[in-house]
């Protein structure tokens, strides 16, 4: 069966018939997703409204939009981080390779192994560099020390951090620079071999060199992983992603090939936001 790269898809997400004969199955299918948060005075905030979108294997999907538009909420739903927020309520479907991850009986521990997440601020544990990366492996029950060592080294290598820390794996992770700490968190996420990696503004703190390294890393990881990244930087979204989704006031306004989104977006609201003509 012929397959296509997501970047070859038309702005609407449908394959171009003249070029393509079949589309790859989505890695994630989000259907009619609504998220509500409980407000301070007892009411509900409708944080996400009827969001429907596919995420394809080995693509980087960038989520952009103004603060409070729902993009981080969307990201958190993808590995059920919202479960930890009191009063948060989710409706709709999120299918990971066809399985509904929002189903009550879906194992959240398994979900978070398959769908890893890296947060805006790097949060290394107050442990050694090695133990930070080994943490998830041990938490998932891996006890074989040689296998743990192999997986830690492999994860640090994939996160492009190995050369910088290989001689001080026992040093405290809290001593790493911001950019290194962020890559350590990525290594920690990669160690359990996820299929999807969620990145919530991963380069809001690091300097330009660290940002460039991280973006290079994202490009390399895309060979094996599906990546969804929330970013406030239009340029970053343009650089790292194949498709971009624009959220505004809890709604998905437009999703399309990044090249199209940044040269001729279909929606005026997208155009206004990315060119800085908003509000």
Partner 1 sequence: MAGRHTSGDFELELREIRAHLVAMGARCERAVQLALAAFLDRDSAKIAEVSGLDQKVNQDEIDLDDMALRVLALRQPVAYDLRFIASTLKFVTDLERISDEAVNIAERVETLQKATTAPPVFDLPRMGELAQKMLREALDAFVEGDEQRARKVLTADDDVDALYGQTLRAALAWMAEHPNDIPAAMCVASAAKYLERIADHATNLAEHVIFLEKGDDVRHRRSP
Q: How far is the CB of 238 from partner 1 (least distance, A)?
A: 7
Exposure string of 25-51, with b = 16+ CB inside 10 Å and e = fewer, is: ebbbbbeebbbbbeeeeeeeeebbeeb
Cβ 101 vs Cβ 33: under 8 Å: no
**CB-hemisphere CA count at 13 Å for 213?**
18
Nearest CB to partner 1, comparing residues 11 and 13: 11
Give me the torsion for CA of 218, 221, 223, 225, rounded to 10°: -110
Residue 212 lies near partner 1 (rule: CB under 8 A): no
Total residues interacting with partner 1, rule: CB under 8 A: 16
Beta bridge partners of 64: 246
Contact 44, 86 (CB under 8 A): no
Helix, strand, coil % (nearest 5) of the chain? Answer: 35, 25, 40
Q: How far is the CB of 56 from partner 1 (least distance, A)?
A: 23
Question: With CB under 8 A as the contact rule, which of the stretches 65-73, 112-120, 194-202, 267-275 interacts with partner 1?
Answer: 267-275
- Interface residue with partner 1 among 234, 249, 251, 269 (CB under 8 A) is 234
Question: Which of 56, 246 has the CB closer to partner 1?
Answer: 246
| Residue closer to partner 1, measured from CB, 3 or 275 | 275
Residue 257: strand, helix, or coil = strand
Distance CA 216, CA 106 (A): 34
Among the listed residues 101, 155, 238, 245, the single contact to partner 1 using CB under 8 A: 238
Residue (180 or 258) nearer to partner 1, CB? 258
Residue from 41, 145, 146, 277 in contact with partner 1 (CB under 8 A): 277
Binding window for partner 1 (CB under 8 A); candidates: 18-26, 97-105, 151-159, 263-271: 263-271
Q: Could you give the angle at the alpha carbon of 203 between the alpha carbons of 201 and 208, nearest 5°?
A: 155
Q: Which stretch binds partner 1 (CB under 8 A): 34-42, 93-101, 186-194, 260-268?
A: 260-268
Distance CA 229, CA 117 (A): 10
Nearest distance, CB of residue 266 and partner 1, angstroms: 10
In terms of CB distance, is 188 or 239 closer to partner 1?
239
* Binding region for partner 1 (CB under 8 A) out of 83-91, 116-124, 143-151, 259-267: 259-267
Interface positions with partner 1 (CB under 8 A): 234-235, 238, 262-265, 270-272, 274-279
């Amino acid at each position: 069966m012929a397959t296509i790269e997501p970047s070859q898809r038309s702005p609407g997400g449908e394959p171009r018939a003249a070029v393509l004969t079949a589309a790859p199955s989505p890695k994630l299918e989000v259907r009619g997703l609504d998220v509500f948060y409980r407000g301070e005075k007892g009411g509900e905030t409708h944080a996400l409204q009827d969001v429907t979108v596919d995420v394809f294997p080995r693509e980087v999907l960038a989520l952009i939009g103004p603060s409070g538009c729902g993009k981080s909420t969307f990201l958190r739903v993808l590995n059920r981080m919202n479960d930890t927020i009191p009063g948060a309520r989710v409706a709709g479907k999120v299918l990971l390779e066809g399985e509904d991850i929002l189903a009550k009986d879906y194992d959240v521990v398994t979900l978070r192994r398959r769908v890893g997440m890296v947060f805006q601020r790097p949060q290394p544990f107050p442990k050694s560099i090695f133990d930070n990366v080994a943490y998830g492996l041990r938490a998932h029950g891996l006890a074989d020390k040689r296998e743990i060592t192999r997986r830690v080294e492999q994860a640090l290598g994939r996160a492009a951090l190995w050369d910088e820390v290989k001689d001080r794996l026992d040093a405290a992770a809290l001593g790493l620079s911001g950019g290194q700490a962020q890559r350590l968190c990525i290594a920690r996420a990669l160690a359990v071999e996820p299929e999807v990696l969620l990145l919530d503004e991963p380069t809001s703190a690091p300097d330009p060199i660290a940002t460039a390294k991280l973006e290079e890393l994202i490009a390399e990881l895309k060979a094996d992983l599906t990546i969804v990244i929330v970013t406030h930087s239009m340029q970053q979204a343009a650089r790292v992603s194949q498709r971009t989704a624009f959220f505004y006031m809890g709604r998905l306004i437009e999703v399309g090939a990044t090249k199209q989104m940044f040269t001729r977006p279909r929606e005026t609201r997208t155009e206004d936001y990315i060119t800085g003509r908003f509000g």
